[in-house]
Amino acid sequence: MSEPNDQLRHARERVESPNATGEPLSRQELADLVNRWVYEHTNPPRVIALDANYIGKLEQGKIRWPQDDDRRAALRAVLNARTDQELGFRRPRRSRSTVADVDRQQFLRAAVGAGAAAVVGHTVIDMLAPTEPTPVPTVVGTSEVADVRAAAQAFSGWDARYGGGLVREAVAAQLRYSAELLNGRCAPAVRNDLFSAVGYLAHVTGFMAFDAYAHEDARSMFGFALGCAEEAGDWHLRAKILSSMARQAIWCGDPDTGLTYTELALVRADRLVATERAMLHTARARALGKLGRIQDTLTAVGLADESFDNANPTENPPWMAYYDAAQHAGDTGHALWELGVSGQFITEARTRLASSVSGHSEAHARSRVISQTKLASLTMVAGDPTEAAHFGAQALQAAGPIKSRRAADDLRELRRASRPHAGLDEVGELCSRIGSAVVTA
């Protein structure tokens, strides 16, 4: 097991938080200060994207030696250390052994004989860690920008279909590489496109983290993405990122902050296309519904509908391709669901959720499952429990290949709503199946 780096942790805890008098520096605050120091003390300025998760790995001893000289210099400066050793950093020793010294056949026999236990052992995991990172070009052009955009679109498609659970770490690694491109030299005409592309990928990565309930990671990535969008002057990407930040805040039980994010995004609504305005009004409606502001929720849904009716898909940026009629029906249905479970506008909420379920393709399987589950929950609370069990069984079957903590929690919510009717055979069976399906989700 990794030995914790207590020297680094103690050094961090000796520094006072800039945001809370008398409190020690948090991991995220340390990451932010390191990012700022590197930007201010390098020429040309370097943009790095350390977060609380990275600082945690340093303190847990999972990373014993940060390879980047600037990162170590920043950590020493922020934590008032003279040497790397004062922070518990130890340069790894190089082994003098070579492959020629190994009996390859004996090694293979031993590896095969070790069985599955060795596969998950720390030694093998450490062995598989890359020692030769992909070199980052020092000159960045349109081809690198296109590569980042292509990666963002590919990962976004995977996330929409299967959820972010399986590939989140891989995408985060791709983001770290792409962020390093911002340190390269590029023509002024390319610079904004590069920041926009990296911001797009950061948003995709952040949404995957949100879907996996890695909320601190998501907030850091969304924050980095927003910084990229604002650096590029990309109002369209900015709107999308703020919409996702609002959705995360609402999901985490803070609809007031979610409402604030949507208001920020709508400050210059004239710069956005109709589809983006529909997306943002829908997010507002969801926040208002959570806050119990019934009339304001209905008004926001009406504004969303009006904007969507005026949408022209040919105007949409790439990251808005997902927002079609099925997505709009599902998102507005989610907003009205809050009212429906309280006994109001039940039919309208059900109609929209059902339209979303029937309209979504396999490419957006996660959204379809979530709408199916919400439809089942609403029907269970305010309709026919047997019909609700039928909807729930369909949602549960479709959720099989999807790795989404949000979708799993919606199924748990459906099970809670089903318990008063568990005496019905169909409902009792659904509760049992959900329990088995989400026990490890």
What is the pLDDT, as a whole number, of residue 129?
54
3-state secondary structure the chain: CCCCCHHHHHHHHCCECCCCCCCECCHHHHHHHHHHHHHHCCCCCCCCCCCHHHHHHHHCCCCCCCCCHHHHHHHHHHCCCCCCHHHCCCCCCCCCCCHHHCCHHHHHHHHHHHHHHHHCCHHHHHHHCCCCCCCCCCECCHHHHHHHHHHHHHHHHHHHHHCCCCCHHHHHHHHHHHHHHHHCECCHHHHHHHHHHHHHHHHHHHHHHHHCCCHHHHHHHHHHHHHHHHHHCCHHHHHHHHHHHHHHHHHCCCHHHHHHHHHHHCCCHHHCCHHHHHHHHHHHHHHHHHCCCHHHHHHHHHHHHHHHHCCCHHHCCHHHCCCCHHHHHHHHHHHHHHHHCCCCCHHHHHHHHHHHHHHCCHHHHHHHHHHHHHHHHHHHHHCCHHHHHHHHHHHHHHCCCCCCHHHHHHHHHHHHHHHHHCCCHHHHHHHHHHHHHHCCC
pLDDT averaged over every residue in the chain: 87
Stretch 388-406: mean pLDDT, rounded?
A: 90
What is the pLDDT, as a whole number, of residue 117?
44
What is the pLDDT, as a whole number, of residue 116?
44
- pLDDT tens-digit series, residues 261-307: 999 999 989 999 999 999 999 999 999 999 999 999 999 999 999 99
The domain 234-308 having CATH identifier 1.25.40: the answer here is: yes
Percent over 90 (pLDDT), the chain: 63
**Rounded alpha-carbon distances, angstroms, from residue 155 to 9, 108, 169, 366:** 35, 35, 12, 14
Residues 6+ apart with CB under 8 A from 82: 76
For residue 26, give the nearest of 44, 51, 3, 45 by alpha carbon. Answer: 51
- pLDDT tens-digit series, residues 217-257: 999 999 999 999 999 999 999 999 999 999 999 999 999 99
- What the block records as the tokens of 62 is 């999972």
Query: What is the band of 132 on the pLDDT scale with cuts at 50, 70, 90?
Result: low
Query: What is the band of 96 on the pLDDT scale with cuts at 50, 70, 90?
Result: very low
Query: What is the band of 121 on the pLDDT scale with cuts at 50, 70, 90?
Result: very low
Query: What is the band of 126 on the pLDDT scale with cuts at 50, 70, 90?
Result: low
Residues 6+ apart with CB under 8 A from 291: 255, 256, 259
Query: What is the band of 384 on the pLDDT scale with cuts at 50, 70, 90?
Result: very high
What is the pLDDT, as a whole number, of residue 36?
85
pTM check: above 0.85: no
| 139 phi and psi angles, rounded to 5 deg | -120, 125
- pLDDT tens-digit series, residues 27-83: 988 988 998 888 888 887 777 778 888 898 899 888 888 888 889 999 999 999 999
Long-range Cβ contact pairs of 222-229 (< 8 A, separation 24 or more): 222/248, 224/49, 224/179, 224/199, 225/199, 225/200, 226/199, 227/199, 228/182, 228/195, 228/196, 228/198, 228/199, 228/202, 229/195, 229/196, 229/199
- pLDDT tens-digit series, residues 417-435: 999 999 999 999 999 999 8
Report yes or no: 281 and 300 within 8 Å, Cβ to Cβ. Answer: yes
Query: What is the band of 100 on the pLDDT scale with cuts at 50, 70, 90?
Result: very low
Query: What is the band of 333 on the pLDDT scale with cuts at 50, 70, 90?
Result: very high
For residue 283, give the nearest of 270, 264, 311 by alpha carbon. Answer: 264
What is the pLDDT, as a whole number, of residue 439?
54
Beta bridge partners of 175: none
pLDDT at 389 over 90: yes
Query: What is the band of 148 on the pLDDT scale with cuts at 50, 70, 90?
Result: very high
- pLDDT tens-digit series, residues 162-207: 887 767 888 888 999 899 999 889 898 899 999 999 999 999 999 9
The CATH label, of 1.25.40.10, 3.40.430.10, 3.30.379.10, 3.40.50.1110, for the domain at 324-441 is: 1.25.40.10
Measured distance CA(308)–CA(279) in Å, rounded? 8
Report yes or no: 24 and 17 within 8 Å, Cβ to Cβ. Answer: yes
**Rounded alpha-carbon distances, angstroms, from residue 28 to 9, 34, 232, 372:** 13, 10, 25, 37
Residues 6+ apart with CB under 8 A from 332: 282, 285, 301, 304, 305, 352
Measured distance CA(307)–CA(198) in Å, rounded? 28
Which CATH code for domain 6-87? 1.10.260
